[in-house]
C-alpha cells in the first residue's frame, strides 16, 4: 500500500516543487509568466486557462486516488465491497460529460485565440508599425532596419511606443525566433518569409533566441531585444549610423560563415534589398542578376 500511496502523491509533489521553484524566478528566469507586452500577456492567460481546465480532471483524480487508497486499505474492514457498479449512470455521466465539456471549451479557446493571436496580424497602435527584417544565420541573428538603413547582429532595438513588425527568413537551416517576454515563436526557413508582430508595454531589455535546434552553436544563438523610449532610440540610431562598418556583399558573405557566441555588431548601411536577395537565393533564378553584389550573395560565392 505504501508504494501505491507514493505513486499517487507523486504528481502532487511535482506541482508543489514547481510552485516553490517558480517563487524564486524573476522576469529573466520565467519571462513567459511575467509578460511585458499584450501579446505575451494574452498567451500567458491562455496557458493559465488551459492549465485550470486540465486541473478539473487532474485534481479530483488525485484526491479520489488518495481517498480510495485510504478507504479500501486492507485493514479497513468497514468498507463496503460493491463490485457491481459498472452500469451506474451517475459514473458514466461524469466520466463522459466532464471531459466532453472540457474539450468543447478548449476547442473554442483554440479556435478564437488562433485567429486573435495570429502572428501575421498587424497590431493596432497610435503610431505605424516599426518594420524590422530578421535573418537567421549560423549561429547568430542579423537584423535589418529598412526605415533607418542600418543593421545589427545579435541586438534588436525598437521604440517601445510602436508596434513591432518583424519579417523573418533564414540563410541556413530552419530556425525559430522567439522573445518570450513579448510573445510566441515563429519559424525562420530558407526561401520563405514569415512574420511576427509584437509590442512592448514598457521599456526594458528582453532575451530573444532561436528555439529550434540548429547545430553546434544553438545554445549561444540568442540576442537582446531593447524596447527603448523615443529619446533613447534616437540616440541608438545616431550611434549605429555613425559606425564605420558597412554590410556590403563581401561583408555579408563573411558574416554568414559559421561562428559561435558572436558579439553585438552594428553596420551603418547594408546591401540594397539584402532581405529579398536572400529569399531569391533559394528560389529559381529567372533572368539576369541586377548587380554583381546580387549575384555574389545569391550564389554564396566569394
CA angle 174, 180, 181 (to 5 degrees): 150
Q: What is the mean pLDDT of residues 46-72?
A: 89
Cα gap 279→293, rounded to integer Å:
15
DSSP state of 123: P
Which residue, among 294, 236, 295, 290, has the nearest Cα to 268 in the 3D structure? 236
How is the beta sheet containing 204-210 ordered, strand by strand? 155-159, 222-228, 204-210, 175-178, 186-188
pLDDT bracket for residue 184 (50, 70, 90): confident
pLDDT surpasses 80 at 286: no
**53 falls in which pLDDT band (50, 70, 90)?**
confident
pLDDT higher for 302 or 111? Answer: 111
Q: What is the pLDDT of residues 149-169, one digit of tens each?
A: 999 999 999 999 899 999 999
Confidence of residue 282 (pLDDT cuts 50, 70, 90): confident
Contact between residue 121 and residue 113 where contact means Cβ atoms under 8 Å apart: no
- Domain 130-283+291-299 of CATH type 3.40.50.800: no
Q: Which residues contact 151 (CB under 8 A, 6 or more apart)?
A: 142, 143, 144, 145, 247, 266, 267, 269, 270
Architecture of the 2-74+89-116 domain: Orthogonal Bundle (1.10)
Highest mean pLDDT among 48-57, 115-124, 228-237: 228-237
* More confident position, 89 or 83: 89
CB burial string 90-124: b at 16+ within 10 A, e below: eeeeeeeeeeeeeeeeeeeeeeebeeeeebeeebe
Rounded distance between C-alpha atoms, residue 235 and residue 194, angstroms: 30
Mean pLDDT of 214-230: 93
**Grid coordinates 472540457 are at which residue?**
102
Q: Where are the domains of the chain?
A: 2-74+89-116, 130-283+291-299
Amino acid at each position: 500500500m505504501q508504494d501505491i500511496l507514493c505513486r499517487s502523491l507523486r504528481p502532487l509533489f511535482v506541482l508543489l516543487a514547481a510552485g516553490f521553484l517558480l517563487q524564486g524566478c524573476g522576469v529573466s528566469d520565467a519571462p513567459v509568466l511575467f509578460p511585458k507586452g499584450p501579446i505575451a500577456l494574452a498567451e500567458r492567460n491562455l496557458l493559465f486557462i488551459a492549465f485550470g481546465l486540465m486541473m478539473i480532471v487532474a485534481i479530483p483524480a488525485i484526491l479520489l486516488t488518495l481517498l480510495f487508497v485510504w478507504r479500501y486499505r486492507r485493514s479497513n474492514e468497514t468498507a463496503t465491497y460493491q463490485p457491481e457498479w459498472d452500469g451506474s449512470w451517475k459514473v458514466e455521466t461524469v466520466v463522459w460529460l466532464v471531459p466532453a465539456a472540457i474539450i468543447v471549451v478548449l476547442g473554442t479557446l483554440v479556435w478564437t485565440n488562433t485567429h486573435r493571436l495570429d502572428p501575421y496580424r498587424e497590431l493596432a497602435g497610435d503610431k505605424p508599425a516599426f518594420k524590422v527584417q530578421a535573418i537567421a544565420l549560423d549561429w547568430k541573428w542579423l537584423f535589418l532596419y529598412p526605415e533607418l538603413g542600418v543593421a545589427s547582429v545579435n541586438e534588436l532595438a525598437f521604440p517601445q511606443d510602436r508596434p513591432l513588425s518583424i519579417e523573418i527568413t533564414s540563410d541556413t537551416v530552419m530556425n525559430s525566433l522567439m522573445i518570450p517576454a513579448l510573445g510566441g515563436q515563429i519559424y525562420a526557413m530558407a526561401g520563405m518569409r514569415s512574420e511576427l508582430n509584437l509590442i512592448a508595454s514598457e521599456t526594458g531589455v528582453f532575451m530573444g533566441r532561436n528555439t529550434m535546434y540548429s547545430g553546434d552553436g544553438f545554445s549561444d544563438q540568442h540576442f537582446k531585444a531593447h524596447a527603448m523610449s523615443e529619446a533613447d532610440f534616437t540616440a541608438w540610431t545616431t550611434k549605429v549610423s555613425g559606425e564605420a562598418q558597412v554590410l556590403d556583399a563581401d561583408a555579408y558573405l563573411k558574416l554568414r560563415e559559421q561562428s559561435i557566441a558572436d558579439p553585438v555588431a552594428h553596420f551603418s548601411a547594408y546591401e540594397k534589398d539584402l532581405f529579398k536577395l536572400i529569399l531569391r537565393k533559394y528560389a529559381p533564378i529567372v533572368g539576369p542578376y541586377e548587380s554583381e553584389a546580387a549575384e555574389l550573395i545569391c550564389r554564396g560565392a566569394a
